[in-house]
Structure 1
Amino acid sequence: MNMNDIFAIAMALLLTYAGMACLGLAKPRHYDEVWGRDPHAGHTRVLRGAGVLLLGLAILPCVGLWGNILGLVVWLGWLCAGALLWIGMLSWAPRPAAGTAALAMAISLLGLSMGF
């Protein structure tokens, strides 16, 4: 396993964490827990779209590293890991959880644009 493989694994985890955070924040209960107010309809649509897009982008490093079939299975595992990480952060510290999700999204999109 070389450094490119490690970066691909990190990108998959960061993308699934950020995607799950977006989907979680699209729910009014979690949005209120983090921001202290109800979301607008436009916010929930944008968050849902961003979440689906980020989770879809997480397939790329998995399939690139492990191939088509095994990559999809590994992607499902990373979805579970991202969801567990998001739920843990949300219950521990809601506001910093949203900040780390934004940072994870920025780092992962930068990494994907560089080719990892």
Structure 2
Amino acid sequence: MAEAIRDADESASPLSAALGAIAQVGTELVAFADRAAERRAVIDSSVELQERERTKLATVTTAIRDALKQRDVDPGKAELVAQIATVAFQNAFAQWIDTQGRNDFPSCLRAVAAALRETLESGH
């Protein structure tokens, strides 16, 4: 994911670069997620596995943040964008699982990003 962020168009905003990387990597991940719903159910049933999942997501957030900083994004902004992008990834992946793969991952991510932008712009 970090490589995809570093390779993003120089004119892309930090959030656009991060979401573009997530769409790219997410598409590759879902190709291997034939049992994603089952995996989610197992994780949801175990506090230990939930903690492990949070640790993995923290690693993703750190990778996104560091890649953004390599693009000369202000460190505070890089941290915020990385956190937002990770939440968007989580929500898009859950949406993809819920649709049982009927919607492709980038479509799910675009829907989450649109809802996020709408929420931030409207204040609701």
Q: TM-score, normalised by structure 2?
A: 0.41
Structure with the larger helix share? 1
* Higher RCO structure (Cα 8 Å, ≥6 apart): 1
